[in-house]
Structure 1
Amino acid sequence: MKNEEERNLGSLIKTLLRTRSLSMRKLSMLTGIDTATISRIANNKQKAKPSHLQLFAHHLGIPLAKFIQAAGYDVELHEKNATSDLSISIETIQEILVSANHLEHQFNLEQIHHELTKYEQFALTKEGEHKILDEFEQKVDQVRGAGPFINELNKMYNRYLEENISSEERTILGSVLLYFILSTDIIPDYVFPFGYLDDCLVVQIGLGRLAKLDHKHP
């Protein structure tokens, strides 16, 4: 029964409202979404927009990925990643963006890898280092916790600042941080709430590369 509920957006919203002792009117006040719109979504009479899903996730306190899945998109929620929006696949991101008319062209991981490669050498220069030191915290303030990837980015930033890391490690960390700072996104940041999902994917790629590096040099 719980599984069925989680796969039905209306049922999921009603359950969360009940368990949190919230009314639709109160949720409307929190999210800025009209009460009638919330009612239609909760009764499966209106399709939720991506921005609705993000606001519901934020104010009802469960991962965005679960709302996306309940809305009918194909999202794999692995148990170890069940609390993280980083579990959303690139295919799902693309499907959502296209269906919401937010993205006209396709994107893929090769594009993201290409962008990261451009920043690798820049990350090792004084100019790149100053860019990271001067602008990372300001960019974090701008997004105000737009996703769980912020915690990982903060860890990567602190690691980048350490003096005893290798140039390989600094290159990987710096390229990820610069991608985030410079906003040359495959998905524009203004495409709320999915504008930072390619940043999430960049963090995943960076963490994977760091893990391989640690394995190579234990």
Structure 2
Amino acid sequence: MDNQKELQNFLKNEIKSRSLSLRELSKLTDIDHATLSKIINGKRIANLNHLKKLSESFGTELEQLLKMAGFTDSESDELKQTWKAVQKVVHELGGTDEEITYERVNQEIEVFKKRSQTISGKEKIRKEFKAKMEKTSGIGKYIDQLKAMYCHFLQGNGHPRDQILIGAALLYFIVTTDLLPDYLLPIGLLDDAFIVQVISQRLENKNLLL
């Protein structure tokens, strides 16, 4: 059962850094303490339900815990292939020769997640989203998703992690320093649409944008 060794070490570090007992961790995660003990000691494999509860309790991305636990992430692979297709279109149009990896996309998301939790970030969304939307004048699922995200952002309801992810998508849409150049319209908006797609896959409540 060493295929979950990274997850075991993560849990041990979290227990130590948060000064938690096993029973306290059990209450925090709503996972039976005997089950937790077996997972931490490599005597039981953590399943998807366990990982979801750990993700919510620790504020850690589920995707990150899935990788630690040795799960294959077919969804991530599909998104990587989609991003490669986007880059191919841009290269063929002579937009940029720079190779921007899927990992770089995730780094950008992390930056905007942090900004979305600040007062200035939230104010920027409230003040500038509608103006950017009018300037874009787009239609389709991508625009509908952004509008739905904006409504949920204003309402402030739902899981806190969802709010952070939604804020990140909205800020990325508003800020002009995109991964791909906007002068390639409408190609320049492809990375905005891709970011929305990535974030929508990570939302705790998958029905938010339906």
Alpha-carbon distance change, 192 to 91 in structure 1, aligned in 2, over 3 angstroms = same
3-state SS of 2:199 partner: helix
Candidates 187, 196, 207, aligned match of 2:189: 196
Alpha-carbon distance change, 147 to 214 in structure 1, aligned in 2, over 3 angstroms = closer
**CA-atom RMSD in angstroms:** 2.0
Contact 2:156/2:163 (<8 A) preserved = no
For structure 1, the residue ranges without an aligned partner over 5 or more in a row are 1-85
Contact 1:147/1:196 (<8 A) preserved = no
3-state SS of 2:112 partner: helix
Give distance in 2, aligned partners of 1:165 and 1:94. Answer: 34
4+ residue runs over 4 A deviation: none
Candidates 165, 178, 185, aligned match of 1:185: 178
Candidates 154, 170, 181, aligned match of 1:161: 154
Contact 1:122/1:128 (<8 A) preserved = yes
Deviations 1:146-202 (A, max 9, x none): 654111100011011113333211110000100110122110111122100001110
> Identity, % of aligned pairs?
31
| 1:125 is the counterpart of 2:118 | yes
3-state SS of 2:146 partner: helix
In the other structure, the counterpart of 2:88 is: 95
Candidates 102, 108, 116, aligned match of 2:101: 108
TM value normalised by structure 1: 0.54
3-state SS of 1:190 partner: helix
Give distance in 2, aligned partners of 1:148 and 1:167. Answer: 24
Contact 2:162/2:205 (<8 A) preserved = no
In the other structure, the counterpart of 1:141 is: 134
TM value normalised by structure 2: 0.56
Give distance in 1, aligned partners of 2:115 and 2:88. Answer: 33
Give distance in 2, aligned partners of 1:187 and 1:164. Answer: 32
Deviations 1:117-150 (A, max 9, x none): 0111221121111000000010001111165411
